[in-house]
Amino acid sequence: MNSLASLRLLALLLLTAPLAHPQEAVAPAKAPSAPDLWPKPKPTRHVFAKWESAIAKFEAADKEAPPAKGSVLFVGSSTIVRWKTLAEDFAGVPVLNRGFGGNQIKDSTQYAGRMIFPYAPRAIFLRAGGNDINAGWPVADVFADFKAFVATMRTQWSTIPIYYIGLSPTIKRLAQIEVGNQLNDLISAWMKDQPGLTYIDTRDLTLDKDGQVRPELFVADMLHFNEAGYKLLAERVRPFISALP
């Protein structure tokens, strides 16, 4: 084969050869979660419709496997959603988890007819309020939303026990700790004069002896509990579960 033919053959091979895939980029190490911006302006509106798919999933699950009436119902935001050991932590007590991430107190009120009332629960434990504050809602508004939640529950059951699991300090929302405690104080003081309502204080749950937030209790985002954090939360809630009427 002469040199010209060799060059033609080489060109043909290059044209017909499969293209090499570029080397896959190595994902950079996950940066530490940045603190949430604070303060924020008060929102001009709240969109309930964004939770429609979450509520529809609850309804689909209920049709597939209807939960027993009279369970202890846990509702609220991602602290409830991520509590995967709920049944194990309170073994012997039927519990039902109906939290959804991003939940604000007003969302549980709005969808009560679809994700609370149908279960005829024995008691209700609510953990929410942090997302409300983080969204920019003033403490007075969030407190009003909590009272509206209780009033809505009372339209269905006049004596059902309702427990509010107070907010805990987190590293991601350090700037909001004071405001969170203001909400805790408003709710706890109001609940003292209301029959059937109990406040569960957790403002010290994530703090060390020096009053600093303990990072070892959170997952990488420094907002949500890890296994150790949930163990402490379960220990704080357990006496109230044991004392249920």
Q: How many helices (H) and strands (E) does the chain have?
A: 10, 5
Residue 177 has pLDDT above 90, yes or no: yes
Other beta carbons within 10 Å of 79: 24
Kindly report, residue by residue over 94-114, the tens digit of the pLDDT: 999 999 999 999 999 999 999
pTM of the model: 0.86
**Strands, sheet with 162-165, edge to edge from the N-terminal-most edge strand:** 95-99, 72-76, 123-127, 162-165, 197-200
Fold of 67-242: Rossmann fold (3.40.50)
Span of 5-14, 117-126, 163-172 with lowest mean pLDDT = 5-14
Average pLDDT, the chain: 90
- The pLDDT confidence band at residue 31, using thresholds 50, 70 and 90, is low
**What residue spans define the domains of the chain?**
67-242
